[in-house]
Amino acid sequence: MSSDKNRVLIFDTTLRDGEQCPGATMTFEEKLEIADFLDEMGVDIIEAGFPIASEGDFEAVNAIAKRVKRATVAGLARAINADIDRAGEAVKAAQRGRIHTFVSTSPIHLAHQMRKSEAEVLDIIAATVARARNLVEDIEWSAMDATRTPIEYLCRCVETAIRAGATTINLPDTVGYATPDEYRDMFRAVRARVPDSDKAIFSVHCHDDLGLAVANSLGGLEGGARQIECTINGIGERAGNAALEEIVMAIKTRGDVLPYETGIDNRMLTRASKLVSAATSFPVQYNKAIVGRNAFAHESGIHQDGMLKNTQTYEIMTPESVGVSKTSLVMGKHSGRNAFRDKLKQLGYEISDNQLEDAFVRFKALADRKKHIYDEDIEALVDENIATREDRVKVLNLLVVAGTNGPQSAVLTLDIDGQHHTRQATGNGPVDATFNAIQQMIPHQAKLELYQVHAVTEGTDAQAEVSVRLADTEGKLVTGRAADPDTLVASAKAYIVALNKLTSARGAGDPRLHAHHGAA
């Protein structure tokens, strides 16, 4: 590290602000998996959730606090005593726990949302920060809508928070309104005017409504901030938050003009992106900087010619630096177990011997059906394998009648607790028919919240990766994923993975998942 003054802390809020965006809800297990990954990748602070929001949020923050080894774990709290106490309880078990409390400071929020005067809000800041400080030592205070707050009043708020014990001061661009120069100048002004400003670390938190979140975050660093709040793939409220991978690689690639350092292992960025995309079922746009499928693709003749002569002609960073191994023909049906194990290692997977054995069997089955097997095929296969390790129900056979002359129908055979069951069903299309056949054999109340298909690689023989999200009657969400060259088989498997998850969460004897034996 060059000097501590230039060390920038990465505060990841994928599990809080990221999860807040419509449709990005993650399951408990997915949150733990992501938190473990972020910790390993070198994130300094993981904002694990908003503990007062629900029992599930509390449980997730608490479980993450207990397991994370290196990073600080933060829980969000409004400027309300109950929120602060709940956040304190959730992060108590962490090796390094933080309460992140916030209140609005802009005139428009004070008048219309808070219905409080400036003086009242100052009192609230003093009281709530002091309360949090009695619970943990590490307190972050945020001025919501800071960028639309008059600078004089913002300075008084910051001064009050620091005096009450805040150790990090976050000045968010909550509505994504600022420009980089304005944002930089705001930090400069606050740091210059507030007495004892050097007692706190200043933090940026930018939303992307005008597409400026990353540029604004870097502007904030120039103004003296040394913590960046961001999310993997830039997911978050409305247009999202600043994207972690873009910030990290901008700093790494442009050290000449951005003289900072982070503690992130940039070679893990692509996997982080895939993990979050899979958990949320939010696809990453093809041309997304750093982690998009096309981020390192060179299509035009001139570009390809330059790349062949010297990769630096059109590449400012290498794909390997973000963990992309160029798509290559990797293996075929003659590849052995050792080559498969090596390949997994190269792709960053560490799985148990049992999981490896299972994945290898699936790989062989796939290789029999698909001529070219790419890295992405193997990733899909292993992700599916991990998701299905405790199956009570398995898809054995599927025959579908599709086409212009409906009704479409499906004949599906499932293995349910070791017994084979077959049902035929019709539906509005082959997917609907397949899901109806499942419903007949496994009557359940779960509601289909999301059904999504994407091709793992290119070409008509590409595997389809299907995500199915189900919500049970209590609102618990699970996502099942499966890949297969046949889209309908992948759909049936993904649905069954999700159902298996719902039952394993409830215990094996759950009466809500049982076979109808008549049609076996």
Of 169-177, 270-278, 368-376, 496-504, which segment contacts ligand KIV by CB under 6 A? 169-177
Alpha helices in 42-150 (DSSP H): 55-67, 81-91, 107-109, 118-135
What are the phi and psi torsion angles at 209 (to 5°)? -55, -35
Of 157-165, 167-175, 392-400, 476-484, which segment contacts ligand KIV by CB under 6 A? 167-175
Q: Is 174 in the site for ligand KIV (CB under 6 A)?
A: yes
Four-point Cα dihedral 156, 162, 168, 173, nearest 10: -10
* Residue 107 or 292 having the CB closest to ligand KIV: 107
Q: Is 208 in the site for Zn ion (CB under 5 A)?
A: no
Binding pattern to ligand KIV, positions 264-303, x when CB under 6 A?
A: ----------------------------------------
* Residue 142 or 168 having the CB closest to ligand KIV: 142
* Residue 149 or 479 having the CB closest to ligand KIV: 149
Peptide bond into 407 cis (omega under 30): yes
Binding residue for ligand KIV (CB under 6 A) from 142, 149, 266, 487?
142
Greatest Cα-to-Cα distance within the chain, rounded to the nearest angstrom: 78
For the bound state, the minimum distance from the C-beta of residue 19 to Zn ion, rounded and expressed in Å, comes to 12
Buried b / exposed e over 451-469, threshold 16 CB at 10 Å, is beeeebbeeeebbbbbbbb
Binding pattern to Zn ion, positions 15-44, x when CB under 5 A?
A: --x---------------------------
Binding residue for ligand KIV (CB under 6 A) from 26, 87, 144, 157?
144
Q: Is 141 in the site for ligand KIV (CB under 6 A)?
A: no
* Residue 216 or 491 having the CB closest to Zn ion: 216
Q: From CA 517, how far away is CA 441, in angstroms rounded?
A: 8
Listed in sequence order, the residues at least 6 apart from 342 whose beta carbon sits closer than 8 Å to its beta carbon are none
In the list ligand KIV, Zn ion, none, the entry touching 374 (Cβ below 5 to 8 angstroms by class) is none
For the bound state, the minimum distance from the C-beta of residue 277 to Zn ion, rounded and expressed in Å, comes to 20
* Residue 24 or 433 having the CB closest to ligand KIV: 24
Listed in sequence order, the residues at least 6 apart from 281 whose beta carbon sits closer than 8 Å to its beta carbon are 23, 450, 452, 467, 469, 479
Q: Is 172 in the site for ligand KIV (CB under 6 A)?
A: yes
* Residue 202: strand pairing partners: 169
Q: Is 183 in the site for ligand KIV (CB under 6 A)?
A: no
For the bound state, the minimum distance from the C-beta of residue 174 to Zn ion, rounded and expressed in Å, comes to 6
* Residue 101 or 409 having the CB closest to Zn ion: 101
For the bound state, the minimum distance from the C-beta of residue 207 to ligand KIV, rounded and expressed in Å, comes to 6
Q: From CA 423, how far away is CA 270, in angstroms rounded?
A: 41
Cα atoms found within 13 Å of the Cα of residue 207, Cβ hemisphere only: 21
Of 170-178, 296-304, 339-347, 390-398, which segment contacts ligand KIV by CB under 6 A? 170-178
Q: Is 12 in the site for Zn ion (CB under 5 A)?
A: no
Residue nearest to Zn ion (CB): 17
Q: Is 205 in the site for ligand KIV (CB under 6 A)?
A: yes
Under a CB-based contact definition with an 8 Å cutoff, are residues 111 and 151 in contact?
no
In the list Zn ion, ligand KIV, none, the entry touching 144 (Cβ below 5 to 8 angstroms by class) is ligand KIV
Residues of span 11-30 touching ligand KIV by CB under 6 A: 17
Residues of span 325-364 touching Zn ion by CB under 5 A: none
Q: Is 78 in the site for ligand KIV (CB under 6 A)?
A: no
Listed in sequence order, the residues at least 6 apart from 418 whose beta carbon sits closer than 8 Å to its beta carbon are none
Listed in sequence order, the residues at least 6 apart from 68 whose beta carbon sits closer than 8 Å to its beta carbon are 35, 36, 39, 46, 94, 95
In the list ligand KIV, Zn ion, none, the entry touching 142 (Cβ below 5 to 8 angstroms by class) is ligand KIV
Of 82-90, 168-176, 188-196, 305-313, which segment contacts ligand KIV by CB under 6 A? 168-176
Please tell me the count of residues contacting Zn ion according to CB under 5 A: 1
What are the phi and psi torsion angles at 466 (to 5°)? -115, 135
Q: From CA 287, how far away is CA 322, in angstroms rounded?
A: 15
Of 13-21, 61-69, 186-194, 399-407, which segment contacts Zn ion by CB under 5 A? 13-21
Q: From CA 331, how far away is CA 339, in angstroms rounded?
A: 8
Say whether 509 sits in a helix, a strand or coil: coil
For the bound state, the minimum distance from the C-beta of residue 205 to Zn ion, rounded and expressed in Å, comes to 6
Q: From CA 164, how far away is CA 407, in angstroms rounded?
A: 68
Say whether 471 sits in a helix, a strand or coil: strand
Q: Is 102 in the site for ligand KIV (CB under 6 A)?
A: yes
Under a CB-based contact definition with an 8 Å cutoff, are residues 73 and 96 in contact?
yes
Amino acid at position 218, single letter? L
- H or E segment at 245? helix 244-253
Residues near ligand KIV (CB under 6 A) are: 17, 102, 142, 144, 170, 172, 174, 205, 207
Residues near Zn ion (CB under 5 A) are: 17
